[in-house]
Amino acid sequence: MPELPEVETVMRGLETVLTGQRIAQVRLARANLRFPFPADFARRIEGRQVLRLMRRAKYILAYLEGGDVLILHLGMSGRFTIIDGKGRMQALGEFYDESTPPDGGQGPHDHVVFTREDGLRIVYTDPRRFGLMDLIDETGLAGHKLLAGIGVEPLGNEFDAPYLAEAFRGKKAPLKAALLDQTLIAGLGNIYVCEALHRAGLSPKRRAGSLVKKKGYDPRLEDLVRHIRAILKEAIAAGGSTLRDFIQPQGEKGSFQQVFAVYDREGEKCRKKRCGGTVRRIVQSGRSTFYCPRCQK
């Protein structure tokens, strides 16, 4: 599933073509994605101007005039493609799965087409249909079933070592599992947690609560917060990570995978200077974890 940097990349791409624009038409090729579309979905969007976009965890939120908010989630294989009046395309996200390219909004996996007043189309393509779209009044956004209970943003001001210390206090869960808990931290995913733990020199297997003391916390929590922020910012700047066929709005592939230190590098040498360890893969909660047992304690 696309993680925070990839979703942020797509959101920024959509901003360039939707903010301040009016949606003239919405065409639905089917009645549902992962869930059915809301009643009158197309009618409630058509004729509305898009005021702004933002990301919350792994969701994209498009605020419409009149007070409604369009909630978008890419699922495993969702992507948006911009098609101008001359048929030229720009892909806004294809992270993990090679799929049939959009056919101007008429292909078998092109499920939703948003058309601007000037004819430019934004096509949502999703072969697996694990993505979703919902439409809700802004006043109910915080309590929406998809967003209620989501933790702090890892790039926001609330995310710091004292916050992590309180979140981890008494937790017996492995450190990696605690960091992936979306009720604690919004949007962190498998790739970037593995990379951040490696930079911080912390084992993904250690108990999260072991970093919390009766008074205060292990200073390595400060390092962990710093590395999480840095890795996310670096990945966003690189356009995300391309594991198969993700393409940025500018037509370039995300490049952060070129500097992976541990993720997907099982059996290779650790990239930390003077470490000499070998990257190992284990399974935690059904997910692959990559780490160096020599320098991560």
For 261, the 3-state DSSP assignment is: coil
Q: Taking residues 221-227, report their average pLDDT.
A: 98
Q: What's the order of all strands across the beta sheet hosting 132-137?
A: 50-56, 59-64, 68-73, 132-137
For the domain made up of 161-291, give the CATH fold: Helicase, Ruva Protein; domain 3 (1.10.8)
Residues 6+ apart with CB under 8 A from 59: 7, 71, 72, 73, 146, 147
Active-site choice (3, 6, 153, 195): 3
DSSP 8-state assignment for residue 137: E
Q: Taking residues 63-89, report their average pLDDT.
A: 91
What percent of the chain is modeled with pLDDT above 90?
79
Joined together, the tokens standing for residue 168 give: 């981890």
Rounded CA separation 77/106 (Å)? 18
What percent of the chain is modeled with pLDDT above 70?
90
Please write the tens of the pLDDT for every residue from 181-215: 999 999 999 999 999 999 999 999 999 999 999 99
Residue pair 200/293 in contact by the 8 Å Cβ criterion? no
**251/241: higher pLDDT:** 241
Rounded CA separation 74/253 (Å)? 17
Active-site choice (2, 5, 174, 204): 2
User: Catalytic residue at 244?
Assistant: no
pLDDT higher than 60, residue 100:
no
Joined together, the tokens standing for residue 131 give: 């993505």
pLDDT value of residue 229: 98
pLDDT-derived band at 1, boundaries 50, 70, 90: confident
Domain extents in the chain? 4-140, 161-291
Rounded CA separation 65/260 (Å)? 41
What is the average pLDDT score of the chain?
A: 90
Q: Taking residues 67-96, report their average pLDDT.
A: 83
Domain 4-140 coded CATH 3.40.228.10:
no
User: Catalytic residue at 3?
Assistant: yes
Strand partners, 34: none
User: Catalytic residue at 206?
Assistant: no
Active-site choice (58, 199, 253, 265): 58
pLDDT higher than 90, residue 258:
no
For 54, the 3-state DSSP assignment is: strand
**89/153: higher pLDDT:** 153
Angle between helices 220-237 and 161-168 (to 10 degrees): 110
Rounded CA separation 215/220 (Å)? 15
Tokens 């030229």 -> residue:
88
pLDDT-derived band at 76, boundaries 50, 70, 90: confident
pLDDT higher than 50, residue 249:
no
pLDDT-derived band at 255, boundaries 50, 70, 90: low
Same fold? 4-140, 161-291: no
pLDDT value of residue 47: 98
pLDDT-derived band at 39, boundaries 50, 70, 90: very high
- For residue 241, count other CB atoms closer than 10 A to its CB: 27
**235/91: higher pLDDT:** 235
Active-site choice (12, 34, 287, 294): 287
Rounded CA separation 161/158 (Å)? 10
pLDDT higher than 60, residue 219:
yes
Joined together, the tokens standing for residue 117 give: 């007043």
Q: Taking residues 119-123, report their average pLDDT.
A: 95
User: Catalytic residue at 176?
Assistant: no
Three-state SS letters, 112-136: EEEEECCCCEEEEECCCCCCEEEEE
pLDDT value of residue 2: 84
